[in-house]
Chains A and B, each alone.
Chain A
Amino acid sequence: MPQFFLNKRLIILLVSIIILVALIGFSLRDREQLTWPERFIKDSTGWVQSLVSKPTHFVAGFFENVEDLRITYNENKELKKRLDKLASLEAQVHLLDKENTELRDILDKKETLRDYDPIQATVIGRNPDHWHEMVIINKGKVDGIKENMPVITAKGLIGKVKNISQFTSTIQLLSTMDPKYRISSIIQADKEVFGLVEGYDDQKELLLIKTIPYNAEIKKGQNVVTSGLGGVFPEGLVIGKVVDVVPDQYGLNLTAYVKPGANFYDIENVMVINRTMVQPDVSEMVDDEEEEL
């Protein structure tokens, strides 16, 4: 192929490789927000996407309903079994809830890390190349969404807001490989164990909580929830259940495998969580530290 190596083409190729590397570097660095052309394009395509996604979800929903009808009988039996337990549980929860508010009143402690306002949103798109696990929702800056807010479905946490534009935002799912993606969590053992959800095992489809102290008593089936100590996340959002605990590479710590409560596929309606308690100002914390030093 001598033609291919003609000077002009070679130069174009080299220049575009340089531009490619520069652009990737530009988009990978820690950006506070997207540039305005990106936000504009996202908003415009988001508008078209939400137009298209409504009718398609309606049609898909119809087929899902037909599928549901098929399994109704078994499901009904199972649900009836659980319903018996529910009545007593409900009474118990009511009692505890009341007691909790009373005790809080006595202590004069009104705000907790647990309080939040949910913002309802609908998924209008998903990244078709499966490398970056991201979905696009139809709420953005004007609806009060900010970066890093947690996003949940009825079954549990699915991810956090990565980027926002005026009317849409992108959510990075928990199943992402990004090493910078961490969520402060609690394993609800007899004695609560703190840990960071970091990483996702692609083959097993399980989340990883690394660097748990070696003597922590964790068993299978224990719940994992958010701790609320990360700054933006409220306390008590369900992440999943522990399915396995193994010593790590060097045998100094434990790694827990967590089966996520939410399904990362087939997501339609989500809630973006706006924590009502004040968020700590990061810049303030950094300044304090520096003064101490």
Chain B
Amino acid sequence: MSRFLPFVLFFLLFILESLFVELFPVKMFNKDWVFAPHFLIASILLLTIYGSKKHGVWYGLLFGLLFDIVYTEVIGIYLFMFPLTAYVISKMMKILQSNIIIATFVVLLGISILEIVAYEMNFLIHITTTPFPIFINTRLLPTLILNFVFLVLVVYPLKKQFEKMNEQLG
């Protein structure tokens, strides 16, 4: 059962992200700010840190592909970035200790890497023309704030769950 738990969880988050952007009142704070939810990759990174690295990378690959096909219709960017971020984070956690606060910030760092590389790629293929400083101010910072709130809510229950799962699977 617990073998399929991450899959179900990630799939729900995958759909929740799209519902979130549909329903979230965009102009609540500031109409220039863009809040991009990265709940899915945040949870995959937590799995990489607390569960197993191998699972993290494979789930990253699977859901990156799904994300590209269903949402962006440009296959490649997230397919490449999800597993890569998971891999980089797992390497980083070998040096750092996995306490809950450090884990939160490492995940936020992972999201920043993902956002910046995705921005650069979209800039290269002319999907966006936003200059870099404006991207940092209007998109990256609000996105990090949003995902920080999400992480604060879920980091503890997910840590418990993934550690338990890791023990069961041996």
By a beta-carbon cutoff of 8 Å, the part of chain A in contact with chain B is 1, 4, 16-17, 19-21, 23-24, 26-28, 34, 37-38, 41-42, 45, 48-49, 52-53, 56-57, 60, 123, 125-132, 134-136, 162-163, 170, 177-179, 202-203, 205, 265-267
Contact = CB atoms under 8 A, between A and B. Distances in A.
Given A23-B79, A132-B74, A125 B122 contact: no
Given A20-B79, A27-B73, A128 B20 contact: yes
Given A132-B127, A177-B126, A266-B22, 16 more contacts: A1-B91, A16-B80, A20-B77, A23-B76, A27-B74, A28-B125, A45-B14, A45-B70, A56-B19, A56-B23, A60-B23, A126-B22, A127-B72, A130-B34, A134-B73, A179-B126
A125 B19 contact: yes
B158 interface: no
A134 B18 CA distance: 11
A193 B72 CA distance: 35
Query: Which 9 residue pairs of A and B lie closest in terms of their CB atoms, listed nearest first?
Result: A23-B76, A128-B17, A125-B18, A24-B76, A127-B71, A20-B80, A27-B75, A23-B75, A126-B22
A132 B74 CA distance: 9
Contacts of A179: 126
B2 interface: no
A126 B67 CA distance: 11
Contact of B75 (A24, A48, A127): A24
B130 interface: yes
Interface residues of B, number: 43
B129 interface: yes
Contact of B74 (A28, A136, A202): A28
B72 A130 contact: no
A151 B23 CA distance: 20
B152 interface: no
Nearest to A63: B23
Contacts of A205: 31
A118 to B, nearest CB: 22
Contacts of B80: 16-17, 20
A272 B23 CA distance: 21
Which residue, of A27, A128, A135, has the highest number of chain B Cβ atoms within 10 A? Answer: A128
Given A24-B125, A41-B69, A130 B75 contact: no
A178 B126 CA distance: 7
A26 B20 contact: no
A38 B73 CA distance: 9
A132 B91 contact: no
B63 to A, nearest CB: 11
9 contacts: A24-B75, A28-B125, A125-B18, A127-B18, A128-B17, A132-B74, A177-B126, A265-B27, A267-B22
Which residue, of A21, A27, A134, has the highest number of chain B Cβ atoms within 10 A? Answer: A27
Contacts of A52: 15, 19
Contacts of A203: 32
Given A28-B125, A49-B15, A163-B73, A128 B79 contact: no
Given A41-B70, A177-B129, A125 B76 contact: no
A20 B124 CA distance: 14
Nearest to A46: B70
Given A24-B125, A128-B17, A162 B139 contact: no
A125 B15 contact: yes
Interface string B101-144: 00000000000000000110110011111100000000100000
B21 interface: yes
A85 to B, nearest CB: 30
A30 to B, nearest CB: 13
A281 B63 CA distance: 40
B77 A128 contact: no
A60 B27 CA distance: 16
A112 to B, nearest CB: 34
